């Protein structure tokens, strides 16, 4: 979406006006949250996307919980143990009820895990968390999970699948769930309504097993415009916002009517390139003629990475609210490489590599991405385009609403293949360790195994797949971390994708509220304290 100078000036005037107004207090029991991106569905298994996951966790719960640092703990499962190398046994929390009053049992667990790979038209399904697992009910409060090989990340996987009611959701579609039919979980809040483009409304579950939640009613408002979202906070239209624009962070920190919370994110902003086709649709010669897909040449991929001035993007566009990236996750996470560093900016070396690859005059390219999904995403894509143009690749930008973009980027091409030639996107590891990024982003796309679910470039490297497979079957944490680090090094040195930076997560709330920041970026009503 393009704003005119007049509309930008009007937005600025509105924002300036709100700075002189006091923040109005929310009602004692209502919490209004301004989200930067809206969920594409109320179906918790439809799309493995942060906006979807964070609102789903209010209504639906997982067997294993994750705190603000993604540390694992008891959720709907209160205990677990290894029966043998291939079998895990879980004990469910007793006396848990769904919102309709029906009891939560092992039948609901098995139903939910069986449902995940069978959700029609899911643009990024959660099958990577369910693959290779066989569920067996022992009794109403006990079940076992069997795997073909030892599987050390069982708890991480079970922390990422929301449990639905087998009774309520047995025959419902994604569209039904969006309308509230079968949208019944065990969570602290109950579904009220989902109005795409506007809001999602929840009400308190007074009978929640962990006790009555703080807020009687929670309204998520979808406000993708940064100035409008800040203005909504300062005028009291909402009580808190996520994705505080980097340009406003310093100023809001000095406003005594506002509290700021921040956390380093594990979300990587990156570029994926089409590795599926011999000719890719949005790359042409400069005269418009068809050419071979340049992304299949390692030297071209290296040239593109060298062309990016990552620090300038962080400093000038993100205004310091990001960290330059050299791999899939910050190196504080388990399974990351200690040797990979951000690729150095070098225009001359980049041009030389293009010449060696047979593209001395470059080519033309269109980059696609979302507008309003990540902080400053459109500005970042435009900056990347300018940097590529500087090395002779005439680059255009096309941004789309996030729901449209991700659907087309995943399966908008022929036979439901990815549509675009190059995309800018973001990814955070739901598991809180390296396999949660390496598998979905750079594992060979395979619907049966659930690997490569977010591999929209269709990168494929047998060595990466081999190391990932070994890692996922290695129980020893140290050895598994080494395998994941090696797999990451192979994929990044092969430029399977181009890492740019890691986000910093920032929330702002009216005075009197405190937001507990999370590394997974989730904006949760349960994280807002009074």
Residue range of the domain that includes 424: 265-504
Query: Which pLDDT does position 28 carry in this prediction?
Result: 61
- What does the pLDDT look like over 115-149, one tens digit per residue? 999 999 898 889 989 989 999 999 999 999 999 99
CA angle 477, 479, 483 (to 5 degrees): 115
What is the C-alpha separation between 379 and 55, in angstroms, rounded?
Answer: 27
**CATH number for the domain harbouring residue 486:** 3.10.105.10
**Residue 101: which residues within 8 A CB-CB, separation 6 or more?**
none
The rounded Cα 468 to chain-centroid distance in angstroms is 21
User: Average of pLDDT values for 265-286?
Assistant: 96
Q: Is there a domain that residue 27 lies in?
A: no
Q: Is there a domain that residue 333 lies in?
A: yes
Q: Is there a domain that residue 404 lies in?
A: yes
Residue 131 phi/psi, 5-degree rounding, is -60, 145
User: Average of pLDDT values for 342-346?
Assistant: 98
Burial 13-29 (b: 16+ CB within 10 A, else e): eebeebeeeebeebeee
The pLDDT mean for the chain works out to 93
Query: Which pLDDT does position 508 carry in this prediction?
Result: 97
What is the C-alpha separation between 524 and 513, in angstroms, rounded?
Answer: 13
What is the C-alpha separation between 333 and 21, in angstroms, rounded?
Answer: 43
Total domains in the fold of the chain: 1
Query: Which pLDDT does position 21 carry in this prediction?
Result: 43
The tokens describing 401, both together, are: 């609403």
What is the C-alpha separation between 188 and 59, in angstroms, rounded?
Answer: 6
Query: Which pLDDT does position 247 carry in this prediction?
Result: 85
- What does the pLDDT look like over 408-463, one tens digit per residue? 999 999 999 999 999 999 999 888 899 999 999 999 999 888 899 999 999 999 99
- What does the pLDDT look like over 150-161, one tens digit per residue? 999 999 999 999
What is the C-alpha separation between 188 and 174, in angstroms, rounded?
Answer: 22
Closest CA to 378 of 34, 37, 18: 37
DSSP state of 133: -
Closest CA to 242 of 409, 382, 372: 372
Q: Is there a domain that residue 137 lies in?
A: no
Q: Which residue, chain included where needed, has tokens 């000036």?
A: 9
* Helix, strand, coil % in the chain, rounded to nearest 5: 30, 25, 45
Q: Is there a domain that residue 170 lies in?
A: no
At residue 23 the predicted structure's pLDDT band, cuts being 50, 70 and 90, is: low
At residue 2 the predicted structure's pLDDT band, cuts being 50, 70 and 90, is: very low
Closest CA to 483 of 330, 329, 334, 270: 334
Closest CA to 435 of 417, 453, 459, 458: 453
pLDDT score of 335 more than 50? yes
User: Average of pLDDT values for 319-332?
Assistant: 94
- What does the pLDDT look like over 235-272, one tens digit per residue? 999 999 999 988 899 899 999 999 999 888 889 999 99
Q: Is there a domain that residue 497 lies in?
A: yes
Query: Which pLDDT does position 263 carry in this prediction?
Result: 87
Across 188-192, 428-432, 497-501, 515-519, least confident range: 428-432
pLDDT score of 16 more than 70? no
pLDDT score of 390 more than 50? yes
Q: Is there a domain that residue 472 lies in?
A: yes
Query: Which pLDDT does position 332 carry in this prediction?
Result: 87
Question: What angle, rounded to 10 degrees, do the helices at 435-442 and 462-472 form?
Answer: 150
Query: Which pLDDT does position 360 carry in this prediction?
Result: 96
SS3 at position 229:
helix
At residue 27 the predicted structure's pLDDT band, cuts being 50, 70 and 90, is: low
- What does the pLDDT look like over 360-387, one tens digit per residue? 999 999 999 999 889 899 999 999 999 9
**Half-sphere exposure for 63 (CA within 13 Å, toward CB):** 26
Q: Is there a domain that residue 168 lies in?
A: no
């Amino acid at each position: 979406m393009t704003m005119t100078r007049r509309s930008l000036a009007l937005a600025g005037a509105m924002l300036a006006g709100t700075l002189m107004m006091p923040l109005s207090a929310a009602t004692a029991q209502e919490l209004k949250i301004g989200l930067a991106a809206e969920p594409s569905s109320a179906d918790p298994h439809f799309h493995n996307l942060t906006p979807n996951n964070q609102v789903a966790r209010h209504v639906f719960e997982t067997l294993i919980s994750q705190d603000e640092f993604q540390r694992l703990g008891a959720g709907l499962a209160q205990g677990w143990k290894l029966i043998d190398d291939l079998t895990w046994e879980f004990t469910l929390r007793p006396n848990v009820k769904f919102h309709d009053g029906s009891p939560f049992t092992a039948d609901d667990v098995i139903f939910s895990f069986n449902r995940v790979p069978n959700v029609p038209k899911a643009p990024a399904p959660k099958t990577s968390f369910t693959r290779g697992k066989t569920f067996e009910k022992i009794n109403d409060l006990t079940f076992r999970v069997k795997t073909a090989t030892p599987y050390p990340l069982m708890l991480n996987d079970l922390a990422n699948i929301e449990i639905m009611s087998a009774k309520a959701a047995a025959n419902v579609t994604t569209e039904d769930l969006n309308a509230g039919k079968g949208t019944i979980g065990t969570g602290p809040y109950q579904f009220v309504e989902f109005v795409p483009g506007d809001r999602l409304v929840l009400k308190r579950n007074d009978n929640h097993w962990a006790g009555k939640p703080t807020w009687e009613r929670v309204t998520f408002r979808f406000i993708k415009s940064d100035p409008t979202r800040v203005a909504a906070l300062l005028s009291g239209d909402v009580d808190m916002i996520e994705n505080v624009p980097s340009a406003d962070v310093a100023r809001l920190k000095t406003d005594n009517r506002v509290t700021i919370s921040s956390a380093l994110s594990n979300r990587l902003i990156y570029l994926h390139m089409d590795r599926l086709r011999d000719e890719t649709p949005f790359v042409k010669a400069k005269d418009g003629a068809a050419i071979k897909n340049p992304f299949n040449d390692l030297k071209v991929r290296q040239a593109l990475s060298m062309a990016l001035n990552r620090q300038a993007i962080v400093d000038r566009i993100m205004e310091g609210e990001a960290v330059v990236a050299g791999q899939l996750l910050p190196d504080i996470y388990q399974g990351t490489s200690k040797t990979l560093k951000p690729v150095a900016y070098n225009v001359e070396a980049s041009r030389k590599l293009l010449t060696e690859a047979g593209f001395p005059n470059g080519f033309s390219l269109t980059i696609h991405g979302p507008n309003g999904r990540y902080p400053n995403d459109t500005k970042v894509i435009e900056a990347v385009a300018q940097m590529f143009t500087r090395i002779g690749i005439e680059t255009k930008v096309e941004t789309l609403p996030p729901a449209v973009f991700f659907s087309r980027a995943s399966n908008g091409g022929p036979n439901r293949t990815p549509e675009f030639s190059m995309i800018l996107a973001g990814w955070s590891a739901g598991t809180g360790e390296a396999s949660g990024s390496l598998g979905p982003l750079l594992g060979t796309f395979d619907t049966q195994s659930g690997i490569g679910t977010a591999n929209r470039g269709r990168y494929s490297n047998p060595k990466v797949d081999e190391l990932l497979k070994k890692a996922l079957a290695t129980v020893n944490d140290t050895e598994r971390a080494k395998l994941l680090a090696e797999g990451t090094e192979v994929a990044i040195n092969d430029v399977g994708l181009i890492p740019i930076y890691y986000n910093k997560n920032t929330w702002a709330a009216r005075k009197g509220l405190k937001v507990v920041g999370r590394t997974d970026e989730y904006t949760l009503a349960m994280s807002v304290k009074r």
